[in-house]
Every structure is written in structure tokens, then in C-alpha cells.
Chain A
């Protein structure tokens, strides 16, 4: 009596991917865990400035399966290579990995492990976290790009050019059959006599047969957006400040990119003079000189007028600076801010003051308080952990605007 052999069949192997459901579910759980930790993830340096399809390793508070287990403080038995002596080190104690910052180790019981997600997925999760369902509708201006017609059903009256010949011909045949049937029933006797005559008789189209195409206007909206990143590159903007600014620009860009078909980026670096620069220069160029914020704003306005007409583009502008502006530049800056607000969907000013930094001059934040434009926001960023909450606040400003613009059309208000 021999054993039974079940030979391999490749079709089985396709069907037998029976873990796919469970893998999917696990993935969902990971995603949820990731969402809960999104603020931590975003402040991690590695995700900033990478392509959308790149894979990032993200530490997440894992979905562990907890059971009663013994702690690691008890001795264990193991094997050696034949000459073990007391006092030898035989391997490291495995510890749960924790993310970044060198403060690992003092928080027992928090377990992290790394998972790989694509940046695309990460960004999606980030904005799920924002929970801004109506964001798309109002503040995003859709621009009418194409106006054409689309056929949609038929109607009984119309111009000759729209005649639906097939339907019309069908209707005539239907009517013909109906008429013959009626005549057959009522004039059965004469039928035989008349049929010969009838076959040769014409049966013309009638007004009732005609059908015309109904047309519906078909408007395609094109939604284009431009993100204008304005950054102060004066001598006081150090690496840390630029890094924080970069994080913020990254988020803004990802957000806008998600909502529009086409997104352009403009980088403006300014000290006392403003220049449009490449992305690489923007983040990596050395810094020097004083600060004239108005120069950056003027440049932004120029670019908008030259290339991005606000009636065709959704403009998002954001300015990062440490707020050390020349005193005499302030009135001009405020005037330009108002102009920019008029041109942009959203204009934000982020003042970056890492804690412990020394500041000179008067922070711009105070002056900006006077500006009452609804789509203008100021925020202060002092550390990495600030970025996500502040970004959320920035966008919820956008949402408030959306709600208020809905109210305008509400007849009850």
C-alpha cells in the first residue's frame, strides 16, 4: 500500500492564494495604525522631497498580538559552539524598535515596527486624516475648458440636421404593421382582394414617425493649480528653519497635487531681492543678506500676472520666513499681502521660530494680525511636531471659507 501523491498543478497555485483575504485585512489594519501615527511619520525627515512612487519605510506602532509572555529579565538556555565559558557575550537582546530622535529606550512597552508604503499611499492616508469632505467643491475653482454637446435621448421636434434616421425608420415600420393588423381584423373579407393592391401601395413617413436627437451641453472643467512657495533666504534662515519650511511646502504641494489634475510649482527665494529659482536651489542654496519680504511678494504677483491668470488658475501661495523684516518694508509688505490675497485661493504666512532661537527686529506675525482677508492665514512653527497640526489648521481655514461661501447662496440665511 503506497502513499497517495497529488501532482502539482499550476492552476491550483493560482487558486490557492487563499491568504489574500487575510493579507488584505492585515494591510487595512496597518493602514489604520499608520493613520493614527501620521503626525509622527510626517515629522520624519525621510519622506520629504521624494518621488511619489518611491517606497518609504515608516515606523508604526504595530498591531501586535498580545499574549501572556514572560519578561526578558529571566535567564535562558542556549547552545554554544563547543567552548562556551561563563562571561561570554552571546548575542544581543532583541528589543522593539522605536523611531528616531535618540530618545528611544526610556518608554517601555511601546512597540514600533517598520512597514513599507509608497509615498502615494502615505499622502492619501495623510489627507484622509484631514477629514475634509467638502473641500473640493467650493474653494477649488474649476475652469470651463471645453464646451461641446453630447447626444442624450430623442425628442419629437427638432431641426432636420438632428434627425435620428434609425429611430424614425423604425417608427414608420411599427406604424405600418399596426395599421395592417387593424385592417385585417376589421375587413377580413376584403383582405384577400385588397392585399395585392396594398403590397404595391406606398406607405410614406408621417410627422408622427420623426424623432430628433436631443442634445445636452457637455462642459469639461479643467482644474489647474499653482503652488507658489516663497521663502526667505536671508542670513538668519538656518538649516533647521529651512527644513521646517520645506516640510510645510511639501505637504502643501502634495495636498494641492491630490486635488487638481495639473499642479505647477513656483519657487521664489528672496532676501532683499526676489528671484525665481529651481527646486534644488530653493532648498539648498546658501543664505545671506537682509530681508525684504515685499520683494518676494512683488515677484509672486508678477509671476501670477504673467503666467497664472487667477481666472484660469487656482493659486496657492505660502511664505515661510523667520519674520525679521526691515522696519521700513513693513507697510509695503502689508499692501502687497492684500493684493496677493485677492489673487490667491489661499495665502499663508508661516513664521518659523525654532525654540531657543534668538530673534531680531519685530516679528511680522503681529503686523499681519491687522489683515482681515478671509483667505489669509498666519501660523507659527517652532518644531517638527508643530507641522502637522498647523498644516491641518491652515487647511481648515480653507474649509471655513468654503462653508461661508456656501452660506451666501443659502436663501434661509
Chain B
């Protein structure tokens, strides 16, 4: 602290960092840095770092909340804000110390490399992303200003679309079959079953697949399904759904790689900072800041902490021993192994593959269950339980923390009721939120919508139509058990 600096100074340091980035073999998009003040930083955060973004009140809410937290000192502003685009854009807060700026720049290059190379980001079209968001913003503003549409109507659709934006396919790398391919697959499957039946001479009843059913295979892209199958939506409404869906798809990889990505950036900023021959005062401050960022947060999960611990563990296993990052030089072949992992893994696979008992103990991961008003530790990472805890962790990162709901049928040739199924994995939906979200789906679909889920170990059907919400008898029975009259 205390050192004053100017943009020239930052450029000098950036040049040295970039030299190291190349030396280490990181593969980055061109980088741009914007020097901003804290209000601009808050704005950047509110709009996910996008230079332009469509307007919606929820961003105002988010801004107010972050600003309140910041003003009351409940929450600092993150040191870095970087977006996945080509060229990558990052913000540097002008009030930060020189050390923090250097640290942030090094950290940003770590993210930049990850954005460019990790498989989950392949579909995000980083070259065009800023222009695409601009176009989205212009289109939505156009609808808001259109006197025949107006703000209220646009908001109604965006509100509903936001509620469903992350209800989409979980892995964009898996190709979706189109309808004719799905039909082929259904026919092939049916033929194979037929053969099987003949071969084994079982006398089960022959079942022909209903090839007119829509969707043929369950569909998790709720917004797109509604866009394509609700004929009564106006073109602009369809466009709004597309826009919200596309933005969700763009941000999906970042949700899927929070831990691995932050860990990666922390790993490399440490590597770069240690190789820069920093002046002592800056180096000391770096050590303090670095430890603040990667420290565990008891009672919570710090992705920086967990991510870095995992990358260190991977390196340790490659090298055969833990490395003192201040002293030892990194070895080239380990680097190659690390690069491969950063390309092919996301949080869930990263944790499943590399989180071992030692690391879990070191991180002191535990399972906590709700008991009355408190969280109470139910399992700790010991011989017996560590795998269970790891699996629970795998299930609570990225999109697995969002309930997976698929459209199973839309009764296109009859009532046009939209049937959905929540793929129950032991975790129940929050009932009130589910009800309200269902109402949003009804807003978009315009006819009855039905959601099947499991509550209190009972199959439960929530349905919403023009007379409002109704819940099937199953659940009501379990809530109000019938009396046995003698």
C-alpha cells in the first residue's frame, strides 16, 4: 500500500505478467483492462460484466442490494471482474493498491486461459458475445418502446422467462437429436425390443411408440420448447424467450466451472506473482491478499479455497510430493497434465475425479443437516462417510444445484396441457417457489401446466390453470392423514 501508480506503471507490470503468461504456456484471448471506480464496478457486476445488457428491474434490485451491502461494509467488491469474450474485458478498480492491480491482472489471465480452453465454453462464441448482448439489449429496448407492446408486457414475459432460464440441457457438449433422428431412434429401439422378444419368446404385450407425441423424448429446454410449441405467442415474445435462453446458455459454463475456474486462476496468479521478483512490500501485501482470497470460510464453501486445494493436490500427485510454491520451479510435464484437466473437466467431474479423502480432511468438509433452526454437522470426512460427502458436493455444484425438470408431453392433439416431470433425486422442491414458478410457466404456455414431483415421499402433481393452483390428492392425503374410524 501507499505506493502511487499510474496507467504507465500498470502497463509495465502487465507486460511482465504477459511475458510470464507466455512462458508458462497459457493460451489466452487478447486482454483489455478498463480502469473504473466502484460505482462502475457495481454496474459491471450487476450486468454480469457486459458492456450492454437489456434492461429489467431485477438488475436494479441486484444493484441496490450489492450497493447496500457495499456501503454498509458487509461485502467488499471482488477484486476482479472479467468476461468470457474475445477480446476478454476486465475491470480494474482505481482505488485498489498497486499490488492488488498486479494480482488482479495475473488472476484475470488465469480466467482468460480457462475461458478459451475449457470445453464447457466451446458453444459461447466468445468473438461475438459483446455484439450479441448489444443486439439483445437493442431488441428488448425496441419492444419496450413500441407503443403496441410497452414495458409492462415485456416485463411480464421477461419475469416469467427469468424464472425458467436455467431450466435447460445440462451439458451443451452433448448433441441434441432433432425430431427425425429421435423418431429413428425410437423405431430402432422398438425393433430391437421386438427382436429381443422373438428371441426370448416372452409374451409381453407389444408396444408401439407413439411417434406423434411432442416431445418424443423428454425436453429440458423449457423456454425453447414453449417458444416453438405455443403458437399463440407473438413474434416479439418468442424473441424475448430466445434472448433470455441464449444469455442463460452463455452463463451456464461459468456456473458449471466455478470451483475449477477460480482454482485455476488462483493457481496461476500465485505462480505468476512468485516468478515476478516483486519488491518486498508488494510481495508481502500479495501474501496477505492471496490468503484472504483462498482462506476457508467456516460454515460455507469457498470455491477459491476448494479449487486451489484440488489443483495443488493434482500437482502433488503428479510430482509425487507437495511443492513449495515460493521455492520450487514448476515442472514442464506436470504443466501438460494440468492443461489437459483444465480443458476436459467441469466442477462435478473435477471433484469426482480428484477430491480424495486427504484433501477433504484438509479442507475439513462436512455434511450439515437442518435441525430446527440450525445447521448441525451430521457427517465428517472420515473413512466411512467421505465418499458420501463428496457425492453430495458433486450434486450441489453447478447446474446440479438447480432442480432438473423436463417436459414430457404437451398433449398437442388434445387438451394441450403441458406435462412436466421433476427428476427426483432425494431433494425436494421448495413448494412455494415451485408454485410461483409454475404460474410463470402458465403465463408463457397459456394453458394448463402440470408438474410431477415427489414431496414427503409421495408422488405429487402441481397443476396451474385459469382457476389457479391445485395440488393432487396424493399430497393432501399425506399432509392430512385420514382418520381410521373404528
Residues of A at the B interface (CB closer than 8 Å) are 1-8, 10, 12-13, 16-19, 21-29, 63-93, 95, 108-109, 111
Contacts and interface: CB of A to CB of B under 8 A. Distances in A.
A24 B370 CA distance: 38
Contacts, number: 231
A24 B63 CA distance: 11
Contacts of B431: 71, 108-109
B37 A8 contact: yes
A304 to B, nearest CB: 48
B366 interface: yes
B374 A89 contact: yes
Interface string B7-24: 100110011001000000
A12 B378 CA distance: 52
A6 B35 contact: yes
Nearest to A110: B432
Given A63-B61, A77-B392, A78-B299, A69 B433 contact: yes
A5 B14 contact: yes
Contacts of A17: 39, 43
B376 A84 contact: no
Interface stretch (B26-34, B115-123, B175-183, B262-270): B26-34
B46 interface: yes
Given A4-B33, A18-B43, A70-B401, A26 B364 contact: no
B46 A68 contact: no
B403 interface: yes
Nearest to B430: A71
B372 to A, nearest CB: 8
A108 B433 CA distance: 11
Contacts of B301: 77-79
B428 A88 contact: no
Contact of B377 (A23, A24, A86): A86
A109 B436 CA distance: 10
B43 A16 contact: yes
Interface string B405-435: 1000000000000000010001111111111
B373 A80 contact: no
Nearest to A91: B299
B155 to A, nearest CB: 8
B14 to A, nearest CB: 5
Contacts of B42: 19
Interface stretch (B161-169, B193-201, B331-339): B161-169
24 contacts: A2-B14, A2-B18, A4-B31, A5-B33, A19-B46, A22-B63, A25-B155, A26-B61, A26-B64, A67-B437, A68-B402, A69-B433, A70-B403, A74-B427, A75-B367, A77-B301, A77-B392, A79-B298, A79-B302, A79-B366, A81-B364, A91-B299, A91-B374, A109-B435
A10 B39 CA distance: 11
Contacts of A63: 57, 61
A70 B60 contact: no
Interface string B273-308: 000000000000000000000001111111001100
B458 interface: no
Nearest to B455: A71
Contacts of A23: 60, 63-64
Given A24-B60, A74-B428, A89-B375, A68 B367 contact: no
Contacts of B43: 16-19
Contacts of B188: none
B18 A68 contact: no
Interface of B: 7, 10-11, 14-15, 18, 30-37, 39-40, 42-43, 46-47, 55-61, 63-64, 87, 94, 105, 151, 155, 159, 162-164, 166-167, 296-302, 305-306, 363-370, 373-380, 389, 392-393, 396, 401-403, 405, 422, 426-437, 440
Contacts of B396: 76-77
Contacts of A95: 373
Is chain B's interface secondary structure helix, strand, loop, or mixed overall?
mixed
B433 A67 contact: yes
B405 A68 contact: yes
A2 B19 CA distance: 9
Contacts of A71: 427-431
Nearest to B44: A16
B406 to A, nearest CB: 12
Nearest to A23: B60
A2 B11 contact: yes
A205 B374 CA distance: 98
B163 A66 contact: yes
A82 to B, nearest CB: 5
A65 to B, nearest CB: 6
B83 to A, nearest CB: 14
Contacts of A22: 55-61, 63
Contacts of A86: 366, 377-380
A21 B55 CA distance: 8
Contacts of B430: 69-72
Contacts of A88: 376-377
Given A71-B429, A77-B396, A90-B368, 7 more contacts: A13-B40, A22-B60, A65-B58, A65-B162, A68-B402, A76-B368, A79-B298
A35 B56 CA distance: 21
| Residue of A1, A76, A90 most packed against chain B (CB within 10 A) | A76
Contacts of A82: 364
Nearest to B451: A68
A1 B30 contact: yes
A309 B33 CA distance: 72
A227 to B, nearest CB: 37
Contacts of A84: 364, 366, 377, 380
A266 B125 CA distance: 72
Contacts of B34: 6
Contacts of A87: 376-377
A6 B35 CA distance: 6
Nearest to B160: A66
Contacts of B151: 25
B63 A79 contact: no
Nearest to B402: A68
B63 A3 contact: no
A98 B94 CA distance: 40
Contacts of B61: 22, 26, 63
A6 B91 CA distance: 9
A91 B15 CA distance: 45
B429 A25 contact: no
